[in-house]
Amino acid sequence: MTTIGISARAAQQNPAIPAWLAGVGVATHVLQSGETLGRDTVRILAHDEISIATVRDILIEATDEIAPRLILSSNGMPHRIHFGFDDMAFGLAMIAELCRPAIRPAVGEPESAIYLKLAEKVAGSDATVLVLGETGTGKEGIARFIHAASPRADKPFVAVNCAALPDTMLEAILFGHAKGAFTGAAGASEGLFRAAEGGTLLLDEIAEMPIALQAKLLRAIQEREVLPVGATTPVKIDVRIIAAANRELATEVAEGRFRADLYWRLNVMPLALKPLKARRLDIRAITAALILRHTRSGESVAWPTANALDRLMAHDWPGNVRELDNVVQRALLLRMGDRIEADDLAIEQMVHAAPTLSVVRLAPAPTAMLRDASLADVARDSEHDAIRAALDATGGKRLLAAAKLGISERTLRYRLAQMRERQAA
């Protein structure tokens, strides 16, 4: 685990830094003279301590320049950062991001830091975890954090999106299959449960799993064994299960779409992620993380202005972190100056209307396309375009998209599986 040390001089000159880091759950300690440093130690140093700085350290520069600056470490030099009062909040977020251990999600809200503490405590056990939250809130990131903080960290972490696989193949993909178990099974497959042996298996979008397969999943969890398709002998497994869903499973149980016994088996330790709009200070921290992620080596780091940050933190983010990532990437590409201005933020304003049964109207296909394609191909492409448009308009929520298209949610899932099969072909 990364250790964060701050020199006495840096702490005296910048008293806000240790307080800020403590508020977001990153513990620091004041470095003692002659202290032996571990390999994973990150030090925060004052500008006049450059003679002892290494590539892993963060040097707080003293400067009279008004514009903030961050120069990432290279050629044996430390990270070098400076900022004035107007940019202090984002500067502290940048320092927190440079210190943050790779396994830990970026947070800026004290409440989110408490959430991570709870997740870390859960990680120490082998309890099954159910992570609930809207699409794009970071459920897989939390699952990876739990795995990395657990005794199983040196074993595999395997993630499967239950909505992204055809229903007919999901059982074989999860539990494996024997040679010749079905057409095309030229060899045997161990399946994802056995691929995660000793480690963690994330079942993402568990609410999309067909109800017939839920019974087999329940048995696998209860008995700690799987029966591969076409096999007659079960195989023992040692896997920790983390399930994730973007819908309330209790509601799915009440409406008959999810087995109650499986729900209670999964719901040992529920962790609910709030949408990004309810975590305003996380927006600043995640923005800092995204800017660093999308800044290539040797490039200058673009800082958002105070007005740009205000605009980011005022938006509702119906697409959550995925939408924020898109906005940050566009701003980095399209900005006109050295900094990200409020006008550089191309934030889409989605209309939140009640779902209707209206048909999504599309522009007619170009004549050239009609000449080269059969009527069935054109109809299928138009249907796929309508599905994509409905999903975009509803923020990826399948239930609302299905209502908008006038079809059932199960029919929509079937159509999406067909689309994925066509793209893979």
Half-sphere exposure in the Cβ direction for 109 (13 Å, CA): 18
Query: 12-26, 184-198, 255-269, 285-299: lowest mean pLDDT where?
Result: 184-198
Q: For residues 395 and 308, what is the distance between their CA atoms, to the nearest angstrom?
A: 23
Residue % of the chain over a pLDDT of 70: 85
160-179 CB burial, b ≥16 within 10 A, e <16: bebbebebeebbbbbbbbbe
Distances (CA, A) of 181 to 165, 184, 189: 19, 9, 10
Q: Does domain 3-107+279-344 have CATH number 1.10.8.60?
A: yes
Selected from 1.10.10, 1.10.287, 1.25.40, 1.10.3470, the CATH number assigned to the domain covering 367-424 reads 1.10.10
Contact yes or no for 41/9 (Cβ under 8 A)? no
Task: Label residue 261 by pLDDT band (50, 70, 90).
Answer: very high
Q: Is the pLDDT at 362 greater than 50, yes or no?
A: no
Tens digit of each residue's pLDDT (9 = 90 or more) over 327-347: 999 999 988 889 999 999 988
Answer with the residue of higher pLDDT: 32 or 117. 117
pLDDT recorded at residue 179: 64
Q: What is the pLDDT of residues 76-126, one digit of tens each?
A: 889 999 998 889 999 999 999 998 888 899 999 999 999 999 999 999 999
Which of 295 and 394 is assigned the larger pLDDT? 295
Q: pLDDT class for 187, splitting at 50, 70, 90?
A: low
Note whether 206 and 165 are within 8 A (CB): no
**CATH number attached to the domain at 110-272:** 3.40.50.300
Q: Which residues contact 165 (CB under 8 A, 6 or more apart)?
A: 173, 417
Q: Where are the domains of the chain?
A: 3-107+279-344, 110-272, 367-424
Structure token digits, residue 329: 């990437």
The stretch 281-289 carries a mean pLDDT of 96
